[in-house]
Amino acid sequence: MFKTFKKLYQAKLASPRGLYRLLASVLRSKTNLMALLDFAARTYPKEIAIIEGSRQISYAELYQETLQLAAQLQKQYQLNKGQKVGLLCKNHIPFVQSLFALSMLGVDVYLLNVAMNSDQLEHLLERHQFRAIIHDEQGAVLLAQSSFDHLQIHSHTPCQNAIIELAKRPIPKNFTLKKSSAGKLVILTGGTTGHFKTAVRKPSLFTFLNPFFALLNQLNLGSYRSVFIITPIYHGFGVAALLISMILGVKIILAQQFKAEMASQLMRQHQVEVLVLVPIMLQRLLQQDLKNFQYNKVILSGGAALNPTLVKQTSRRLPNQLANLYGTSEAGFCVMATGKDLQDFPTTIGKKIKGVEIKILDKNKQEVPSSKVGMLCVKSSWTMTNKADQWIETGDLAYMDNKGYCFLCGRIDDLVISGGVNVYPVELEHILLQHNAIFQAAVIGIPDVEYGQRLKAFISLQPKAQLNTLALKEWLKEKATGPQKPKEIVFLEQIPLTALGKIDKKKLS
């Protein structure tokens, strides 16, 4: 308890003045996301809040512009509590301002994936009656192919009513902004296997306390002053990183797209101390000059599974910097592995954080003993609120050892039964990634007349590396057991990924 209080005090959150500001912010902005920005503006007014491209904005400026944006959205477009508004944007300042402004108005905010296809968007439009969609250039292309005929507000295009212009417009003297408690924050889940589903959260300050304390205590996040959020903010991992960064008043670096060389330059230029990314981004950054990491202290990886080869490679080059955050769009952040955890157990996703309950269940929904594989189920106060049963079935196969460490064995849908034996494709993926020539590996199940199912491996090679099927099968003889050995091996220039950096196995199958 003392350790937590000390770290809160260091982060200006537990002093009498800090507690007064926090209470004043909640009373002034009500229990919505704007209370976080209000607190940050009161506590760190002149500190840089966000740097994006050539633009930077302080916390005081960000708060004032977001307040003005909320007023304009309410006055001009009558956006109010209970209405549905989609945000179809990449990572940039107008997206952040729109998120906080809409929350202040009590609007139900839907974070839409800009990389979705037109069929997926159309399905969402049929299910949800959006009052408006705020979009950027990429979102505009997608909307132009859709049937959406309601209010569309561009984030950037130079015009009188773009978000970037509305945020600069003063609040009219005779206009009273009607603030509301937060509406729903809706995050898309799925999408790699068909249509997106929605994960609903009530964005309250208090639901973020346990995840916040876990990061503060175990990773010492309150000590660092710059965060580069590379992962998309429209994903649960990205938006959580944004909110926690706001509470701490750190300098947030955003970029609208990820390119390893450009990201490396930003890391050096802004002396980035904390990176927030998915594993494939880390893998590509490590191919650049290690001097790019000279200021870095913590690497937060989430959104996709970390493979043990990447863990070992990172630990060797950047000791004790890598942390793995496990969660889902429905469950939120619930399990964490620190650098020490990953050093001792490279395949673990970590231990549950405070406030989380975990069960490993068999196909009959019964709990399994320690080290037995089953479906990972989680429960917490911040899980999605559109389910009557708060236990979330993650769809991940996992087991837990007697020390409380969790280990993933892939998705339930990925399980292959070959000759009556359960085979987990992720195990072969981990083996393949130990080969020095292999950059990425993906394994799926395919029909087989004799065994029912066998494994099929897809491989992409490191730059300038050479490897053929015969040589790889020979290498696997002493590495993989009988059922793990692939029936087919396919070499690809690039393994397809989703927008969040996960391997797209639907395309492979």
Could you read off the pLDDT tens digit of each residue along the chain, which spans 509 residues? 444 444 444 555 555 565 545 555 554 555 678 888 998 999 999 999 999 999 999 999 999 999 999 999 999 999 999 899 999 999 999 999 999 999 999 999 999 999 888 888 999 999 999 999 999 999 999 999 999 999 999 999 776 789 999 999 999 888 888 887 777 888 887 655 456 776 666 655 556 667 777 887 888 888 899 999 999 999 888 988 998 899 899 999 999 999 999 999 999 999 999 999 999 999 999 999 999 999 999 999 998 889 999 999 999 999 999 999 998 877 788 999 999 999 999 999 999 998 899 999 998 999 999 999 999 999 887 665 555 557 888 999 999 999 999 999 988 988 999 988 999 999 999 999 999 999 999 999 999 999 999 999 999 999 999 999 999 999 999 999 889 999 999 999 999 988 777 888 888 88
The pLDDT value recorded for residue 3 is 47
The CATH number that applies at residue 420 is 3.30.300.30
The CATH number that applies at residue 142 is 3.40.50.980
**Which tokens sit at 262?**
């450009």
Is position 384 within any domain?
A: yes
The pLDDT value recorded for residue 205 is 55
Domain boundary among 171, 201, 231: 201
Is position 219 within any domain?
A: yes
Is position 239 within any domain?
A: yes
Secondary structure class of 185 (helix, strand, coil): strand
Provide the sign of the torsion angle of the four alpha carbons 384, 153, 277, 458, taken in this order.
Answer: positive
Whole-angstrom distance, CA of residue 335 vs CA of residue 478? 34
Whole-angstrom distance, CA of residue 170 vs CA of residue 192? 43
Strands 348-352 and 332-337: antiparallel
Same domain, 71 and 196: yes
Domain boundary among 364, 392, 413: 413
The pLDDT value recorded for residue 455 is 96
Is position 44 within any domain?
A: no
Same domain, 123 and 242: no
Same domain, 241 and 108: no
Same domain, 275 and 163: no
Same domain, 265 and 384: yes
Is position 262 within any domain?
A: yes
Same domain, 398 and 250: yes
Domain count, the chain: 3
Same domain, 138 and 264: no
The pLDDT value recorded for residue 209 is 67
Domain boundary among 365, 395, 413: 413
Same domain, 136 and 274: no
Same domain, 406 and 419: no
The pLDDT value recorded for residue 5 is 41
Is position 36 within any domain?
A: no
Query: Can you spell out the DSSP letters for 70-124?
Result: HHHHHHHH---TT-EEEEE--SSHHHHHHHHHHHHTT-EEEE--TT--HHHHHHH
The pLDDT value recorded for residue 9 is 45
pTM of the model: 0.89
Is position 167 within any domain?
A: yes
Whole-angstrom distance, CA of residue 97 vs CA of residue 103? 10
Same domain, 145 and 242: no
Is position 209 within any domain?
A: yes
The pLDDT value recorded for residue 4 is 42
The CATH number that applies at residue 220 is 3.40.50.12780
Q: Which domain holds residue 272?
A: 205-413
Same domain, 211 and 190: no
Same domain, 336 and 275: yes
Whole-angstrom distance, CA of residue 121 vs CA of residue 321? 38
Whole-angstrom distance, CA of residue 435 vs CA of residue 70? 53
